[in-house]
Amino acid sequence: MSSASLPADFSRGTVSSVHQGDCLVSGKPGTTFSTVLGSCISACIRDRVAGVGGMNHFLLAVQSGSSRDRFGQSARYGAFAMEQLINMILSRGTGRKSNLEFKIFGGGNIHPGINDVGLKNIEFVREFLREENYVISSEDMGGNFARRVMFQPTTGRALVKRLDSRDSVHLVRDELAIAKRQIIKPAAAEIELF
């Protein structure tokens, strides 16, 4: 999203990219989280009273049978990613679930002819939030395109740019490589070298 395409009243401030498996939270004014989604889902959640919010990014709703429990929970999977983000915001905010605002993005069907991972992710996130008694305040999910999402965690403002098919080609390749793996290795950030 170029500066020219952003609304005049939107200041990017300090931008942090949120990649698959990431979960970032901030209460610092001038912070913007940014991600690009294909069939992945990003939840943008904010404590309206405390002005603390965050964004996650997950590719699959659940682990495949072959990788389940091999490496424990991973933020690449929906349930863990959602619980992790909610808990981080509650601990840094007011601690009241009633103050949380949910904006959900992604779940595009960008690689037709293969299991609609995006649809499964949409179904998962809707069911997860319904079971936890949360309401989605706004969303942009589904379709046959990728998206760039920018979210300001202190204000709750979110911008979405729908990307054209050229941008989707790269996402398709990356997402297919991950989705086809039988075992997903733990992220390198979980290893400490000394």
Residue 109, domain member (yes or no)? yes
Give the domain range for residue 173: 13-182
DSSP bridge partners of 105:
42, 140
pLDDT computed for residue 177 by the predictor: 52
Give the whole-angstrom CA distance, residue 45 versus residue 23.
11
How many C-beta neighbours within 10 Å does residue 128 have? 18
pLDDT computed for residue 59 by the predictor: 87
Residue 83, domain member (yes or no)? yes
Residue 96, domain member (yes or no)? yes
Q: In what order do the strands lie in the sheet with 147-152?
A: 14-17, 31-37, 147-152, 157-162
Residue 59, domain member (yes or no)? yes
Residue 6, domain member (yes or no)? no
Residue 7, domain member (yes or no)? no
How many domains does the chain fold into? 1
Residue 45, domain member (yes or no)? yes
Q: In what order do the strands lie in the sheet with 136-141?
A: 23-26, 52-56, 41-47, 100-106, 136-141
Low-confidence ranges of the chain (pLDDT < 50): 66-73, 176, 178-194
Residue 74, domain member (yes or no)? yes
What is this structure's pTM?
0.78
pLDDT computed for residue 188 by the predictor: 39
Q: What tokens were used for 132?
A: 């936890």
73: domain CATH number is 3.30.1330.200
* Residue 184 DSSP symbol: P
Digit-coded pLDDT (tens) for 60-94: 766 555 444 444 445 557 889 999 999 999 999 99
> Can you state the angle between helices 117-131 and 78-92, rounded to 10 degrees?
40
pLDDT computed for residue 10 by the predictor: 79
